[in-house]
């Protein structure tokens, strides 16, 4: 264990083997850090934090801060962190609002500089949050989701497994698993094909998800009928998880981005071809 003489470490903190604490870092009473964690200079790990091993707390991040809530009680919940997570510079992660509950961060997540994780959030494994990503309270993010820079996620929203949210998106409804979200509109623009391939999904899995995507967004079915179709046509694989996700939630679901029906333009044709191709058109987008 290596603790810089200018660090402030409470004698009531429990630190594992090989923990390194830099200058001016603060570790409060009651903190539990597993083996080989690194606390960089200026970082603050506050009371109520229980973290596994091989976690990296970057310069001036504040992990375990009190919930930002107007009705915050005097005693609040905890923050539970798994293994092999990275919290970069100036990241803030808050504890849960009520005693006996916890903000939960799984394993091998990468949270980049100035990102924020609000109280009572639940984050899975292998997620990435780019610089300035903001999660409101009670947000759930499933495994391998990617949240780009400056994305703002409204409280109580959910982001599904392997979804990818484009930069600057304003997320106010649930993002279903495996979807690709446009940062400008906040709407779904297709499946996260690259992410699916990189995570080892087969061509059959991707074909099945494409069929499920068409059932959800292209057939024009009422919502109850969409769920019935998914239940009847997709008994297993990733499409089954997609259906399970869609049966829950309280904020509705992000919609597909569609071009307005009148967005067409006329292509110029040679005068001698005008008689044979008088109405040649192409749809924009």
* Residues labelled as active-site residues: 119-120, 137
Cα 123 to Cα 80, 131, 270, distances in angstroms: 10, 17, 59
Q: What is the dihedral of CA 233, 238, 242, 247, to 10 degrees?
A: 70
Contacts with 124 (C-beta within 8 Å, 6 or more apart), sequence order: 106, 109, 141, 142, 143, 144, 145, 161
Contacts with 93 (C-beta within 8 Å, 6 or more apart), sequence order: 61, 62, 63, 64, 65, 79, 87, 103, 105, 111, 116, 117
């Amino acid at each position: 264990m290596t603790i810089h003489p200018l660090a402030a470490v409470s004698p009531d903190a429990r630190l594992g083997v090989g923990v390194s604490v830099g200058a001016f870092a603060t570790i409060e009473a009651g903190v539990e850090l597993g083996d080989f964690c690194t606390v960089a200079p200026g970082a603050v790990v506050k009371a109520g934090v229980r973290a596994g091993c091989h976690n990296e707390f970057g310069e001036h991040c504040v992990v375990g801060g009190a919930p930002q809530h107007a009705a915050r009680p005097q005693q609040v919940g905890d923050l539970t962190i798994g293994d092999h997570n990275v919290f970069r510079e100036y990241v803030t992660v808050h504890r849960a609002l009520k005693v006996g509950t916890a903000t939960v961060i799984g394993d091998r997540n990468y949270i980049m500089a100035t990102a924020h994780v609000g109280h009572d959030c639940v984050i899975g494994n292998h997620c990435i949050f780019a610089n300035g990503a903001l999660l409101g309270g009670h947000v759930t993010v499933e495994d391998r989701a990617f949240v780009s820079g400056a994305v703002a996620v409204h409280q109580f929203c959910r982001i599904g497994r392997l979804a990818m949210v484009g930069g600057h998106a304003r997320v106010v409804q649930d993002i279903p698993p495996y979807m690709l979200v446009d940062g400008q509109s906040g709407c779904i623009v297709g499946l996260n094909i690259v992410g699916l391939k990189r995570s080892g999904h087969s061509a059959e899995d991707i074909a099945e998800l494409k069929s499920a995507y068409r059932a959800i967004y292209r057939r024009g079915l009422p919502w109850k009928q969409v769920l019935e179709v998914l239940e009847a046509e997709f008994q297993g694989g990733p499409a089954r998880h997609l259906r399970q996700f869609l049966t829950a939630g309280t904020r509705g679901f992000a919609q597909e981005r569609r071009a307005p029906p009148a967005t067409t333009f006329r292509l110029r044709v040679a005068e001698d071809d005008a008689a044979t191709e008088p109405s040649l058109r192409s749809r924009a987008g």
